[in-house]
Amino acid sequence: MAGLQIDPVTGLKNATYTPSTGAPSNELGQVDFMKLIIAQMRNQNPLEPQKDSDWMAQMAQFEALNQMRAVASGMKALQGLTELTSAAGLIGKTITGKQVDAIAITRDLVAREKFGRPFAKLTSPERVAVNEDERVVAAAADLPNAGREVTGVVEKVVMDASGIPFLYVGGKVVDLFTVAQVQQP
């Protein structure tokens, strides 16, 4: 059978097993845990086998770890939603905050307007068109002003590629977390 791979941990032929080709991760997943359990079972002392309660304790610990990961993921999503809500609440208000390097955010904004996709998913000719847009050119020219204080009315909220909200103030991008003052216009 030419298509079968041999799993190095279990030693079993498996048609669905494919060796990992990516960079190694420090995170153990469910498959890794099951491989460890199988390796423990295969290599235990047959005269003193591990007790059922020990196996159940390991399974319970693994399930608790999975539940904690799910809670952490939910908390991260809730944090992102809270940050976005806070940023949206500033639209139309006068703020004072620090300007950031806006090239990547502006590229993404222009790419979505022109091509309906984020900058990272564009073809090379589309990326050239985005980089030639006057807003991207202006953001690049404004790079030396990153870190300076900006005061103005928040026009809109823009998200960077990682989902962090930024404020758009008079063509400048301001970090939400550097806002020092908020006023009604």
pLDDT digits (tens, 9 = 90+) for 22-40: 556 666 667 777 787 788 7
Domain boundaries, the chain: 93-183
pLDDT tens, residue by residue, 71-119: 998 898 888 888 888 889 999 999 999 999 988 888 998 999 999 998 9
Per-residue confidence at 153, pLDDT binned at 50, 70, 90?
very high
Question: 91 CB contacts (<8 Å, ≥6 apart)?
Answer: 154, 155, 156, 157
CB within 8 Å of 137: residues ≥ 6 apart: 131
Q: In this structure, what token pair is assigned to residue 9?
A: 């941990």
Residue 42 tokens, joined = 């295969």
Rg (Cα) of the chain, in Å, rounded?
26
Query: Is the Cβ–Cβ distance between 173 and 180 less than 8 Å?
Result: no
Residues 6+ apart with CB under 8 A from 81: none
Contact 179, 167 (CB under 8 A): yes
Note the maximum CA span of the chain. Answer: 80
pTM for this structure?
A: 0.60
